[in-house]
Structure 1
Amino acid sequence: MARSFASSFERPSSGAAALTRVYLDYAGFSPVDPRVVAVMRPFLEGGVGNPSALHSLGLEARASLDGARAKVARLFGGAPVGVIFTASATEANNLAIKGVAQRASGRHVVTSAIEHVSVLNPCRDLEKLGYSLTYVGVDADGRVDPGAVERALRRDTAVVSIMAANGEIGTLQPVAEIGRLTRARSIPFHVDAVNAAGRVALSVDECAIDLLTLSSNDVYGPPGAGALWVRPEVKLAPIILGGGQERGYRSGTENLPAIVGMGVAAELARVERATESARLAPLRDRLLAGLLERVPGARATGALGDRRLPHHASVVVSGVKADSVLLELDLRGVAASSGSACNALTGEPSHVLRAIGCDLQAAEGSLCFTLGRWTTALEIDITLDVLPGIVERLRRLAP
């Protein structure tokens, strides 16, 4: 199932030869692993009860829910009891930021200028309620300086939220160093681990993380499920009220098929992380090097090498608009993106690119290629073959 979507398949073309479809937008949407679908299927076809019910089918459902909770927790070395299932990583980020802020005595929040909008917008909402916010800047690679975070901390700081890795430019953040600083001051530390979980080693104990956000689809699980892991001593207020599911932190009947799938996906990601990352990193480097060599005026965004996500390649290309390049790529069978799919809905210039010093013209030519479980070397070569000609043609047509 996922193979036919995510990897190469034959598609009609206007020429004599068939066109190979290439998918390089795994950060936007990851195909669900067929092994995950196989485990989910019985939960979709019936014979499963509500996890809150007292009859045998409900007890079986509860056991499956708790099993998924344990699998998700093992991905980052946390206690299973700390896992709160949500409908998305966006919801989990909102619960982390607003939930901690509402229970804390202090009214100051520290975050970075390049966080996902599902962190930044709850922070802005808190500002409207009278909270004080500090947005820590980044360097030209998009890396947060732990020293800047330390200088931003105050006696009334309620929570610090810094992502593990940026989905637009691929830069890994020094979360372990930041975690040591917040732990020394007993300030809750939230990490949005979407993009990083299952791709780089991440331990909540080693990094002194108190709250961690995870997305099901980002680890090849079904969309419609996410999780927030919370350390037991952290005080959290719910933002969705109702029947008291998920220990009262997230009311609403649990989406058991999606949660079971998320558990299987998390377990596969944990077991296969090292092998998959070792396979993808050379493909990433091959793509980045090829883009910089074959496309005049292209320059990489974000950190390089081990300080970058192993599946992520991003560049800005002068003299073209990303939307036009992406449409031309799609016509030639290559799916990529210009950065965050969530930002694409607003049509606003990327706040991440602005934060690393890109001007508006450069940001308009931002391209992002994210590799995944079914990406092949052939797909990288196809992309490198078609992209330079597209850029050259669009530059000729530009006024």
Structure 2
Amino acid sequence: MPHNIAILGSTGSIGTQTLDVISRFPERFKATVLAAGSNVEQLIEQAIRFRPSLAIIADESKYERLREALSPLGIETAAGSAAMADAMERPDFDTVVTATVGYSGLLPTIRAIRAGKQIALANKETLVVAGELVTRLLAESPTRVIPVDSEHSAIYQCLVGEDNSTVSKLIITASGGPFRTFTREQIADVTPAQALHHPRWNMGAKITIDSATMLNKAFEIIEARWLFDITPDRIEAVVHPQSIVHSMVEFIDGAVKAQLGIPDMRLPIRYALGDATRLPSSERPLSLSDYAQLTFEKPDPEKFPCLTLAPYALNRGGNAACIINAANEVAVRAFLEEKISFPQIYTTITDALAAIPFVNTPTLDDYVATHRAAIAFSEEKTGCKMKLR
């Protein structure tokens, strides 16, 4: 029988690639629940092709269109973020791919953990915002998390068969984004069009801007701390422009293991859906002879100050990372709408950190309140209004 899968964020980059993997292994996987943010037409197309039991659109204004298109096919429909979270308790799937962007992935992931679902985690913000709470819930649940982010999947693969007590350091690679060779003066004047032109990966707008600021690497360091239960001082980032080495693990005997592959998210998706089983690929495999050299360099926190937010958030603890994430969501939108400059993404975040009250031991309600407060503050700061999530 096929393995039943729910996909949160089915119309995004990871979601569409997940459906591509499912289509290649129909005997192994079936998409049972599809959920999207606002792209109702693409969600309808996906539902017609994959025939899930349930299709959910988070944007409630698009619900009538979804219902009219899918109800005649016998496909159940729903709308709203609460419906997405409630769906995590359905008995007709056992694995959920969390591929939504930003804070919106937190509540459904928590509900999935409480329901004992297996999680293919592509939403890094879940652990960035509430890593301590999520790991505590995981300790009380049969849920197992397999990361989908290429960097964390690489670390996960490198740790298979290893004793965690022998791990010395996790080394997370970064492409360096489109501005790796820019000066600070050049970075000050970059445009959204330039920032959206990633040299290696084809991703959604939000994660592409996060890559350009290198805040995504700060988030990945925070996520790795919780995923792999390792102290922050033993996680570092290194710039690797070719994006062939996806991450590395250094061991106490001096050995370093690395996972290599072409920049294609379907590899970590296959690995996660297959429950750490390697499934065959029809794609052209990596050939090292195609690369004259693989280079590595230290990232420059003066050019990319968002990198410094990882050690700050991990050392500060509490709701600090939640504030960073919320302020960044607004700042990225404001930059894309040309309301602020590229460097002001960082200052918007630091201003929010100074303004929003710190909570040392936050509950879920505290995280929700912090997110709302940081969104509201950053909206006022940037003049950019977002639909609150």
The alignment's TM-score, normalised by the length of structure 1, stands at: 0.30
State which structure, 1 or 2, has the greater radius of gyration over its C-alpha atoms. Answer: 1
